[in-house]
Structure 1
């Protein structure tokens, strides 16, 4: 394990050349102070967790001091935003600091809130405390739920004022991912006809994630990469739908080439089961509503496939994209069987699940609480704990569904106790609800970071009971539902 002062980065991506971005020095935040250091991510990177108390963390996490070997680099890309192509994109408030390899994995470190870059357009290049906390928590929440996601190494606050809808304080975080390559990187090189550079980018990504095709013709590598991206994107979309996560702004520049949840903004986890939930108050048409996500991911994959059309013929592209729907269905069905405690597969499972979703929707039942409560169900009548989650008018439909569920469980070979234990490790007790995030943000803006520390720890182990913290697992009050969340950060 490395000490912070000897932690050294490489800069493989920046070495690809000026086509891919611009070396840019960060603009340090004023009077930075450390808010949190993620010991779990430190371990992933090969940093000694004992270094979490190092006095220079505030400088490293806010641009005031660089890790050894770092070459800050603003990445250039484009993308489709709300369905329209925008050529004027790139790292407008973030810099790729470099990469580090530990235990056979290479990790990117990306400083967000680093100040203006050549791609800032009219922005100030800053991030604010509100959005930084939301991203910090979201990466941990999804990772603990088994959903691929970027994470963050640390978060810093400052006294610097930043203008958004109101004046807020500036903040920064170091995002960590195995890759920061977006669909938009390939779109940029395709639409500007920098095809040799696009070939180089295909080879760069394959060298890290598809070593079995390294040395093959670039067309072979491009097909393998597209198939990997389709598969991982289908798995990602299925994961989001199973845990009730709405990303909120699935533009192609927010899509990771390796299928990580990327670029957290106006996201939200479901409270009541609302398939049409729109968590981004700028999404006036519902393009990125919760139930629209699987289709939007496919739309984005089509955009990526088009960007690779200089390398792959139409039939190959269609065949790659044709994998998406069956993979999505397969992944989602498997995840929902786990949520229902079904270890085996049965022809009626899909309908059983669909009918439950209809019941939850019509009754506006809390999604996470229902499945957590179902994890304790052992066939009792009346099913008082479950009935308490629905209105009296729903008791009869719930009873009918539970009778069918009981019959289905008779086909299982596991005991009720074994099933319950498995479900309790699948259906979380603690979920990153927007009202909880807002509670933490408001406390932090007032200088109290203890709620942030509490919620962070709970989200890292969301399946545990955590006695004494039941208030953090409760459904929101009506005033805590449908909080307006914007893209601004």
Structure 2
């Protein structure tokens, strides 16, 4: 049997720095994602082994020997920053799950050469928020990283955006690649076309193997197109989950399209296209309604970086497809969330009817400022009077403004009758995570170390997993 050699070593030391993990005074396990562990063959780990690997950060057998802080640059709020890289995390291990290469990375695991004066730590509240974001997005059917493990570390941290001193934690996440747009940008900034080609080969081999028979500009073209489609799918899923990432910088986007790195995120309360997650996003650059444009802008930066190695790369032509891909995915995601099937057979007619449904939904949400998640919940499997009548916002569905949306819904069929009867849909109230709910869940943890409300919330979130794909 051939021993596993972590593929990251194929890139070599131009792409990372070996770093030592932090040493923490205390280990209190706050979260173990057993489902994720089972999926990568680590479900058998004993509590002691789990602590050794994900608190002490001792290497997994036959895996990455020393943690690797990955090097990258990026545009932050559209200003280029060459002073980036893994500043409070590192690549800890790589794992094979079927045909997929997955990475275990850390957050809050100590200083690296890219910490920029920071302490390399993560607040426990930050870890708590990331657990909830990844769990809920997974249940909404969004392509997201998985929070794998969280330990509280017994340290006290000073932060300007949290009451301090505040508790610390170390988080491990499971991701489908840690290669960021900014990884390519760094190589372009340093004028390293051969390393760009090397990185492209790595990405194709492990994340887009169907492109392996292509070469040079043809392969780069196909790669950018695949990343474009993957990114369009993810931002469409965000829009249908009412999710605002908050910091859509190029170093926070990865080449598989997987959503990750949850800092100042928010979920929409009522629909508001200008709703902004980060308090420091004063111009609303990354507000809810601008997320599709922000992702496209970032794709252009990836394309510009690739052009350093492939000067004939037709970036503009490739990315012209982004809008169509996004619109198609918005329609597909909405039908999946509503458990509806378009009965028409002709392509243009299908698209037009789907587009009409999207338009009427958002017109209704915008006019009435209904609760975003509750509205999608209420309209699951169509405008069913019994469900609408027991909604917390049932009065909205009696208004004239609902008529166009009701009429649009009437043209669709129920896609899956079993899903229409799911127990979650019988409760009458959607599972959401607006900021007031999140703060209410954190309060008993902060004041009394009471994690029971958090655990109950996780049970609720997981209760409808699979309902939305």
Give the alignment's TM-score, normalised by structure 1.
0.85
How many Å separate the matches in 2 of 1:417 and 1:180?
Answer: 39
Change (3 A) 1:402 1:18: closer
* Alignment match, 2:56: 63
* Alignment-derived partner of residue 401 in structure 1: 404
Closer, same or farther: CA 382–34 of 1 in aligned 2, 3 Å? closer
The number of residues matched between the two structures is: 450
Residues 419/114 of structure 1: CA separation in 2 closer, same or farther (3 Å cut): closer
Match of 2:116, SS state, is coil
Q: Is the 8 A contact 1:112 1:173 kept in 2?
A: yes
- Tell whether 2:430 aligns with 1:432: no
Question: What's the counterpart of residue 457 of structure 2?
Answer: 455
Checking the alignment, whether the CA contact within 8 Å between 1:375 and 1:424 is kept in structure 2 is no
The equivalences for 1:191-230 within 5 A come to: 191-214=189-212, 216-230=214-228
Structure 2 gaps of 5+ residues are 345-349
In the alignment, structure 1 residue 35 sits paired with structure 2 residue 30: yes
Pair 1:367 & 2:372 matched: yes
Contact preservation (8 Å) 2:392, 2:429 = no
**Alignment of structure 1 residues 102-117 onto 2, 5 Å:** 102-117=97-112
Alignment partner, residue 477 of structure 1:
none
Segments of structure 1 that go 5 or more residues without pairing to the other structure are 1-7, 466-489
1:231-250 to 2 correspondence within 5 Å? 231-250=229-248
Inter-CA distance 104–62: structure 2 relative to 1 (3 Å threshold): same
SS in 2 for 1:432: coil
Aligned equivalent of 2:158 = 163
| Pairing partner for 1:320 from 305, 318, 339 | 318
Secondary structure of 1:55's counterpart equals helix
- Deviation (angstroms), 1:335: 1.8
Which of 98, 115, 127 is the matching residue for 2:122?
127
| Displacement of 1:325 | 0.6
Equivalent in the alignment of 1:307:
305
Question: Judging changes above 3 Å, is the alpha-carbon distance between structure 1 residues 462 and 383 closer, same or farther for their aligned structure 2 residues?
Answer: closer
Alpha-carbon distance in structure 2 between the residues aligned to 1:428 and 1:151: 26
Range that drifts further, 227-236 or 207-216 = 207-216
Structure 2 counterpart of 1:137: 132
Matched position secondary structure for 2:157: strand
Q: Does residue 100 of the first structure (1) align with residue 98 of the second (2)?
A: no
Please say if residues 222 and 311 of structure 1, whose CA atoms lie closer than 8 Å, have aligned partners that are also in contact.
Answer: no
Cα shift readout 1:140-180 (whole Å, capped 9, x = no counterpart): 22122221111121110021111112221110111111200
RMSD between aligned alpha carbons? 2.8
User: Is residue 145–residue 173 contact of structure 2 (8 Å, CA) maintained in 1?
Assistant: yes
Task: Report the equivalent of 1:469.
Answer: none
Does 2:185 match 1:187?
A: yes
- Of 123-132 and 269-278, more deviation after overlay is shown by 269-278
C-alpha contact 2:112 2:120 (8 A) present in aligned 1: yes
Once the two structures are TM-superposed, the CA of residue 432 in structure 1 deviates from its matched residue by 3.1
CA contact (8 A) 1:272 1:367 kept: yes
Contact 2:86–2:115, Cα closer than 8 Å, also in 1? yes
Query: Does the Cα contact within 8 Å between 1:365 and 1:390 map onto a contact in 2?
Result: no
Moved more, 398-407 or 449-458: 398-407
CA contact (8 A) 1:132 1:172 kept: yes
Query: Is residue 174 from structure 1 mapped to residue 175 from structure 2 by the alignment?
Result: no
Q: In structure 1, what is the equivalent of residue 6 of structure 2?
A: 11
Q: Is the 8 A contact 1:249 1:266 kept in 2?
A: yes
Deviation at 1:264, TM superposition (A): 0.6
After TM superposition, give the deviation of residue 379 of structure 1 in Å.
Answer: 5.3
Match of 1:442 in 2: 443
Q: Is contact 1:91–1:119 with CA below 8 Å preserved after alignment? A: yes
Q: How many Å separate the matches in 1 of 2:466 and 2:316?
A: 44
Q: How does the TM-score come out when normalised to structure 2? A: 0.88
Equivalence map 1:248-287=2 (5 Å):
248-287=246-285
* Contact persistence 2:339–2:416 (CA under 8 A): no
Cα distance in structure 2, aligned partners of 1:45 and 1:328 = 31
Counterpart CA distance in 1 for 2:16 and 2:133 is: 28
Q: Note if 1:75 corresponds to 2:70.
A: yes
- Could you tell me how far 1:244 is from its partner in structure 2? 0.7
Contact 1:239 1:332 survives alignment (8 Å):
yes
